[in-house]
């Protein structure tokens, strides 16, 4: 692979807190050097003049659902890779909610081989905690890790049995595998379809109380402390959840949590007149909850921002709100939507990028997510002020159920590199 030098870039590296003009040198798919200031003389190979664009580590998305295997009509690994590359995501964790479920080493191996053959970005398989995602019998964690699983998760499902979860945590701790768990009490959530409150009452829809999240979260954190597992609350949505996580983090440095970009940038009012593309799990909550999540991100309580990319076909989304499926696609809009926080001065750029690069890499034990010599050359060139509008017809995902349809955003990926190779370029990007 030929050498590559990117000059005149505003380099932002959350791992070193570097933010300044510099040059990035790539050799054999790895970062060879990051040099502040002007380019060193005599750099061989291809040279890209970034002309002041931001150069940042490629995003690592910790929660992506695909349809492959079994539901390729919703999303394939290839189409997810195309969407990811366009959104600046160079690695994503593929949830095990497929057909069949990724609960066997051979299926982990299949996903890895299929991804290498068809996908432009790095695919990191998550293996199921329980067989068939049924919440009844744990899988063979050791074999799944040997096959290449980076973490354990039951995806959209939440394990209701505390006894089973304790056993799973104990077993996972033996293999030092992180457990990524979706926290919801099924009996409290019941038939609810949106955030419980006045707005749900006005719409005549059944609500989901915050306690459906906070109660299982508190339980999980106690079991994590008991077993010593590396625990990651997949996504929190309520202000009280931020308080619970903050308190536990003062006692246990092996617990982390994530938030969906949907819950970080939207609220229950966006449901509007029964708009099913805003039917999500966890539901969009109040503006006070959203503000608490932003404060939690700035305080370091929330570690990760992810897309919660969940493709759904037209048949299950074009339904009455109460009957429609949960989920929205988000790989292509993750970064631009997160930049809303930067443009509104709610959070600084380093904080936002850290939650989508360095922290996911640290949680999963990856060498990427940073711009350091010896790290994989996974990076993006970004125009922070590039104006664009989300148009459903232009999305690369096979499904078009976006929560940001018609949204006007500022910030666009100009080019995406994986292993030093360009996998995406917007027309007019530096060459």
Assess if residue 394 is contained within a domain: no
Tell me which of 247-251, 333-337, 367-371, 424-428 is least confident.
424-428
0.85 exceeded by pTM: yes
Q: What percentage of the chain exceeds 70 in pLDDT? A: 97
Assess if residue 238 is contained within a domain: yes
Assess if residue 351 is contained within a domain: yes
> Which positions are annotated as active-site residues?
308
pLDDT digits over 370-426, tens only?
Answer: 999 999 999 999 999 999 999 999 999 999 999 999 999 999 999 999 999 999 998
CATH of residue 150's domain is: 3.20.20.140
- Rounded-to-integer distance, Cα 253 and Cα 362, Å: 13
Assess if residue 306 is contained within a domain: yes
Assess if residue 373 is contained within a domain: no
Phi, psi of 386 (to 5 degrees): -65, 120
User: Domain tally for the chain?
Assistant: 1
Say yes or no to pLDDT of 29 above 60.
Answer: yes
- Rounded-to-integer distance, Cα 208 and Cα 51, Å: 48
| Integer angstrom CA distances of residue 262 from 41, 60, 283, 333, 349 | 45, 17, 9, 10, 18
Assess if residue 144 is contained within a domain: yes
Domain that holds residue 306: 58-364
Crossing angle of helices 162-174 and 211-227, rounded to 10°: 40
Assess if residue 280 is contained within a domain: yes
CB of 180 closer than 8 Å to CB of 232:
yes
DSSP 309: B
Name which of 73, 72, 108, 104 is nearest 93 in CA terms: 108
- Rounded-to-integer distance, Cα 280 and Cα 234, Å: 14
pLDDT classification of 106: cutoffs 50, 70, 90: very high
pLDDT at 396: 95
């Amino acid at each position: 692979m030929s050498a590559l030098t990117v000059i005149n870039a505003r380099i932002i590296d959350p791992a070193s807190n570097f933010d300044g003009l510099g040059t990035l040198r790539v050799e054999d798919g790895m970062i060879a050097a990051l040099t502040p200031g002007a380019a060193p003389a005599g750099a061989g190979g291809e040279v890209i003049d970034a002309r002041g664009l931001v150069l940042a580590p490629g995003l690592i998305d910790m929660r992506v659902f695909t349809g492959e295997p079994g539901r390729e009509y919703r999303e394939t690994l290839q189409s997810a890779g195309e969407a990811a590359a366009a959104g600046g995501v160079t690695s994503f964790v593929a949830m095990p909610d497929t057909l069949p479920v990724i609960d066997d080493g051979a299926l982990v191996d299949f996903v890895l081989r299929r991804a290498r053959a068809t996908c432009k970005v790095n695919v990191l398989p998550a293996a199921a905690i329980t067989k068939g995602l049924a919440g009844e019998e744990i899988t063979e964690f050791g074999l799944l890790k040997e096959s290449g699983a980076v973490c354990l998760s039951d995806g959209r499902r939440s394990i209701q049995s505390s006894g089973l979860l304790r056993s799973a945590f104990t077993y996972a701790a033996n293999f030092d595998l992180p457990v990524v768990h979706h926290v919801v009490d099924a009996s409290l959530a019941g038939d609810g379809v949106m955030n419980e409150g006045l707005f749900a009452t006005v719409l005549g829809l059944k609500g989901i109380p915050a306690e459906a999240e906070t109660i299982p979260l508190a339980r999980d954190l106690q079991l994590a402390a008991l077993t010593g597992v590396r625990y990651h609350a997949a996504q929190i949505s309520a202000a009280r959840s931020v308080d619970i996580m903050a308190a536990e983090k003062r006692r246990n440095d092996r617990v982390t949590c994530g938030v969906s970009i949907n819950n970080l940038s939207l609220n229950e009012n966006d449901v509007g007149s029964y708009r099913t593309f805003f039917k999500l799990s966890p539901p969009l909550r109040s503006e006070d909850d959203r503000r608490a999540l932003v404060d939690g991100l700035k305080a370091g309580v929330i570690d990760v921002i992810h897309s919660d990319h969940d493709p759904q076909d037209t048949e299950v989304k074009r339904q009455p709100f109460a009957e429609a499926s949960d989920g929205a696609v988000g790989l292509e809009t993750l970064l631009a939507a997160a930049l809303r926080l930067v443009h509104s001065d709610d959070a600084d750029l380093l904080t936002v990028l850290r939650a989508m690069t360095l922290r996911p890499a640290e949680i999963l034990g990856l060498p990427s997510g940073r711009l350091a010599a010896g790290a994989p050359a996974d990076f993006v060139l970004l125009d922070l002020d590039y104006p664009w509008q989300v148009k459903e017809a232009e999305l690369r995902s096979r499904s078009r159920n976006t929560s940001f349809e018609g949204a006007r955003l500022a910030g666009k990926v100009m080019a995406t590199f994986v292993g030093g190779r360009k996998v995406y370029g917007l027309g007019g990007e530096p060459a």
